Amino acid sequence: MSSLLPTRRPSVFASCRGALLGVAVLSGLINILYLSGSVFMLEVYDRVVPSRSVPTLIGLSVILVVLYAFQGLFDILRTRILSRAGAALDEDLSQPVLQALLKAPFTAGKDIGQQPLRDLDQLRAFLAGSGPTALFDLPWMPLYLIICFAFHPLIGIVACAGAALLIVFTLLTEVLTRSSTREAVGAAVQRNGIAESARRNAEVVKALGMGRRIGRRWGDANARYLSLQQRTSDVSGGFGATSKVLRLLLQSIVLAVGAYLTIKGEASGGIMIASSILTSRALAPVELAIANWKGFATARQGWKRLNTLMEASGQQEPPLQLPAPKAMLTVEQASTGAPGTQRPTIQEVSFQLQAGSGLGIIGPSASGKSSLARLLVGVWPAWRGKVRLDGAALEQWQSEHLGTHLGYLPQDVELFGGSVAQNIARFDDEATPQAIIAAAMAADVHDLILQLPEGYETQIGEGGAALSGGQRQRIALARALYGDPFLVVLDEPNSNLDARGEQALTRAVENVRARGGIVVIIAHRPSALAGVDLVMIVGDGRVQAFGPKDEVFNKTLRPVPASGLPSAPAAPIMRPAEGRGAAS
């Protein structure tokens, strides 16, 4: 049981230590009370039957009923305490696990799905089940064996031999199920990942006729998972059934040995019956442990994964809260790349933007533009160099506090199940209607929201399924502008917008700059850059040019008469800029 208990979180110890201590005490009382049946049988055969005393029989029966009542009460209390200990563990770990889960794609470099939450559920379910009771009862097994030796050494030897055999079965169960249990979890993650990916891309699956092919992929992953589960169940179930038969057989063997000793005059009839009952009780925890070994192994491995996940997330005490930024954004020789990889997608980027600046970032596909956007808002940490707001590096900010000063619209717009107002307000419980409406008006989406069936209270469904692509993008823009953040980073903000939406985007950019904020726009379509005064050209993960928009366009790009703005770099050059922004 100790391997399941958290060792690095004092709060978990504080919430479970008292409960587990109480369970240990109750287990001791219960195991002592388990002796009631054996003692009753001993007294009946050795005292009541020879004396033919009915009052003695009645008195012993009353005492037995009282003792069994206490045993049942203590067992109920133990079960309830374990259930509440599991709930307390879940309550203490649920938020840290969720936060670590949210950080996992940026620290481990892979999406592990909801497996940590499933691990937490399995850990809580194990604590609330019958497995822990067997583990708490195991230390009392020697007590029963000692009493068997007290009855007669031969009875004790037979009982010890049976206990040793069952312990061997327990160890074999552990060895033979360890790898398959671990592999089954990996197969479950793969299976659930395929299903979740298919659910997210249901439109593509249906439109392209991929349903059966995705179904076959899921079926193969599910078959592997079921095979591993079946292997684990076969091993634990086989040993469980064998241990049950062995315990029953051993109980009969002890009864036969007791009968033999009784015939020889070395034991009484009461000892014969009592030793049989005691042997059965002594081996019951081992049998129960084998039967619950699958759950124990799953819970233990789940705890190890949770511990590893939380350690990898690097949860620390929150840093000192810094004042709101209002002067500049500085990027100093910064490089970064996708988490879990070694290849940087952005290298040695340096520039500075003053309050009121608007920067447009252009470049070919896969040049590192979106990586730079993630770097600026701290989604991807800098491998080298620093990103600073008013001189403070992003890692010096508490995430929740930093988020209030940032506005971010990713290339792939993600909204959450809830109302329009909740999504704009970033699910802030303290958001005021005035602030929500102000953000919607800043994105020029207020009138559009009013036309929805329930206005701001319209439920948009998971991922904004009830909205069109353009509506999702404009509501996401309002979310980015909520709270008048100092730095607003927009990645392809006009990909789903019509002409009116692009005009609203330009006005929003101009308003952010007018109130002293900084806007960074990543775009392929030149119309998105109408409201910026600076332009950066990115290629192969490096800054190729930076400076005032007209100057950069004139010197580095070929003009395109149809749009009035250039679209491709003529030569990779780098020039320092003057005015609001500067690069090196």
User: What is the pLDDT, as a whole number, of residue 106?
Assistant: 64
User: What is the pLDDT, as a whole number, of residue 61?
Assistant: 92
Confidence tier at 1 by pLDDT (50, 70, 90): very low
User: What is the pLDDT, as a whole number, of residue 572?
Assistant: 37
User: What is the pLDDT, as a whole number, of residue 316?
Assistant: 56
In whole angstroms, give the CA distance from residue 148 to residue 279: 7
DSSP sequence for 394-460: GGGS-HHHHHTTEEEE-SS----SSBHHHHHTTT-TT--HHHHHHHHHHTT-HHHHHTSTTGGG-B-
Q: Which of 57-66, 310-319, 568-577 is least confident? A: 568-577
Q: Report the percent of the chain where pLDDT is more than 70.
A: 89
Q: What does the pLDDT average to over 133-146? A: 85
Give the H or E element holding residue 269: helix 269-291
* Nearest Cα residue to 276 out of 255, 302, 260, 257: 255
Residues 6 or more apart from 580 whose CB is under 8 A from it? 353, 354, 356, 357, 533, 534
pLDDT digits 0-9 by tens, 502-551:
888 888 899 999 999 999 999 877 777 888 999 998 988 888 889 898 88
pLDDT digits 0-9 by tens, 333-381:
999 988 878 888 989 999 999 999 999 998 888 888 889 999 999 888 8
C-alpha pair distances (Å), 83 with each of 22, 286, 289: 13, 22, 18
569, pLDDT greater than 50: no
Partners of 384 in beta bridges: 335
Q: For the whole model, what pTM was predicted?
A: 0.66
Helix (H), strand (E), coil (C) string for 325-363: CCCEEEEEEEEECCCCCCCCCEEEEEEEEECCCEEEEEC
* Nearest Cα residue to 508 out of 441, 410, 580: 441
pLDDT digits 0-9 by tens, 280-325:
888 888 777 777 777 777 777 778 877 777 776 655 555 678 888 9
Q: Which of 10-19, 93-102, 127-136, 445-454 is least confident? A: 10-19
Confidence tier at 34 by pLDDT (50, 70, 90): confident
